[in-house]
């Protein structure tokens, strides 16, 4: 399969490197990372150590591919729509954080749109080098058209052919809301407290704040028509905290590096949907306000 990785940062580079062992993969990202991959290939270390040689470019141009995997930050999704509008791709699949990305892609492109989640952990260690911090799973489902299950299965099969744990689902909205609840719980709390995920281990303290944000999100999901229980979310948060105890969340990494965060697609999205469905989410609202305040002080607003 010919695959474009649009947004080859940490996660995009890891998935691109893994898929390139079997498929024809081109990474689309920024220099100096892309120039390093062009010169010496992509080095992956951590869970496994290997070197692979995907294509690499900073300009997507008028590319042609069977699949475009979108892994950019949520706030760059609109720009990806403009870039992909000049390309010939069979399908576009978002593997991004937060929610709202799929709607943006579907609104601006005629191509079939898939949605997905992944639990792989990655960190861009330097130009041409990505660390695989934790082995995870990939789940793919149809977004538009909503009945494109066969296409979702073909994409999942392409991941499996490269040795990855991947499945297709008919209920991708549930998976997205559950991932959103986990991110809404872990990301802003670890970013504000500047701690690793393991600091949210219950009981008490930061864990209570994170759990409250997650269960608020589950309540909004239910009001929005997705059957996501508070118990399911509490268990999922605890599992992720345990499995990634020594990791820093993506939002923590962004704040530590002085970068803009994805708060609008995470807690900000929860607050927005809560207003639409008539729910109150004071913890999510507070966390979003605090991160927005940090962004303003850092010059990102």
Which helix (H) or strand (E) covers residue 26, if one does?
A: strand 24-28
Residue 160 shares a structural domain with residue 183: no
Task: State the residue for tokens 């947004």.
Answer: 7
The structural domain count of the chain equals: 2
Residue 24 shares a structural domain with residue 106: yes
For residue 109, what are the CA distances in angstroms to 91, 201, 205? 10, 42, 44
Residue 181 shares a structural domain with residue 292: yes
DSSP letter for 135, please. Answer: -
Residue 201 shares a structural domain with residue 181: yes
List the one residue out of 67, 172, 157 whose CA is nearest residue 111: 67
179 is catalytic: yes
List the one residue out of 266, 11, 272, 6 whose CA is nearest residue 131: 11
Residue 194 shares a structural domain with residue 154: no
Residue 117 shares a structural domain with residue 229: no
Residue 69 shares a structural domain with residue 185: no
Catalytic residue among 33, 175, 179, 248: 179
Domain containing 289 — which CATH number? 1.10.1040.10
Last residue of a domain, one of 115, 140, 170: 170
Residue 105 shares a structural domain with residue 208: no
Task: Please give the chain's pLDDT, 301 residues, in tens.
Answer: 999 999 999 999 999 999 999 999 999 999 999 999 999 999 999 999 999 999 999 999 999 999 999 999 999 999 999 999 999 999 999 999 999 999 999 999 999 999 999 999 899 999 999 999 989 999 999 999 988 899 999 999 999 999 999 999 999 999 999 999 999 999 999 999 999 999 999 889 999 999 999 999 999 999 999 999 999 999 999 999 999 999 999 999 999 999 999 999 999 999 999 999 999 999 999 999 999 999 999 999 8
Which helix (H) or strand (E) covers residue 102, if one does?
A: helix 101-108
How many Cβ atoms sit within 10 Å of the Cβ of residue 121? 23
Domain of 181, in residue numbers: 173-297
Residue 165 shares a structural domain with residue 221: no
Residue 181 shares a structural domain with residue 165: no
Domain containing 152 — which CATH number? 3.40.50.720
Residue 56 shares a structural domain with residue 144: yes
Q: Taking a C-beta distance cutoff of 8 angstroms, is the pair 266, 97 a contact?
A: yes
Q: Taking a C-beta distance cutoff of 8 angstroms, is the pair 264, 254 a contact?
A: no
DSSP letter for 45, please. Answer: E
Residue 142 shares a structural domain with residue 18: yes
């Amino acid at each position: 399969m010919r695959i474009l990785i649009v947004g080859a940062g940490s996660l995009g580079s890891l998935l691109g490197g893994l898929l390139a062992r079997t498929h024809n993969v081109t990474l689309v990202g920024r220099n100096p990372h892309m120039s390093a991959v062009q010169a010496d290939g992509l080095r992956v270390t951590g869970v496994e150590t290997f070197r692979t040689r995907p294509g690499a470019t900073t300009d997507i141009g008028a590319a042609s591919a069977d699949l475009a995997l979108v892994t950019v930050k949520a706030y760059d999704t609109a720009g990806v729509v403009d870039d992909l509008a000049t390309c010939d791709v069979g399908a576009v699949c978002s593997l991004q954080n937060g929610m709202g990305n799929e709607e943006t892609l579907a609104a601006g492109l005629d191509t079939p749109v898939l949605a997905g989640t992944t639990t792989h952990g990655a960190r861009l260690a330097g130009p041409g080098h990505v660390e695989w911090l934790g082995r995870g799973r990939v789940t793919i489902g149809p977004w538009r058209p909503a009945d494109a299950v066969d296409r979702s299965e073909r994409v999942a099969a392409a991941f499996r052919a490269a040795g990855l744990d991947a499945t297709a689902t008919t209920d991708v909205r549930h998976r997205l809301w559950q991932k959103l609840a986990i991110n809404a719980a872990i990301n802003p709390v670890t970013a504000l407290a500047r701690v690793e995920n393991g600091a949210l281990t219950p009981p008490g303290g930061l864990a209570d704040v994170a759990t409250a944000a997650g269960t608020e999100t589950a309540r909004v999901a239910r009001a929005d028509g997705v059957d996501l229980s508070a118990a399911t979310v509490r268990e999922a948060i605890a599992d992720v905290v345990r499995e990634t105890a020594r990791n820093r969340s993506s939002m923590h990494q962004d704040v530590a590096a002085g970068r803009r965060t994805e708060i609008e697609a995470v807690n900000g999205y929860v607050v927005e949907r809560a207003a639409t469905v008539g729910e109150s989410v004071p913890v999510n609202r507070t966390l979003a306000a605090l991160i927005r305040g940090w962004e303003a002080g850092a010059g990102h607003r």
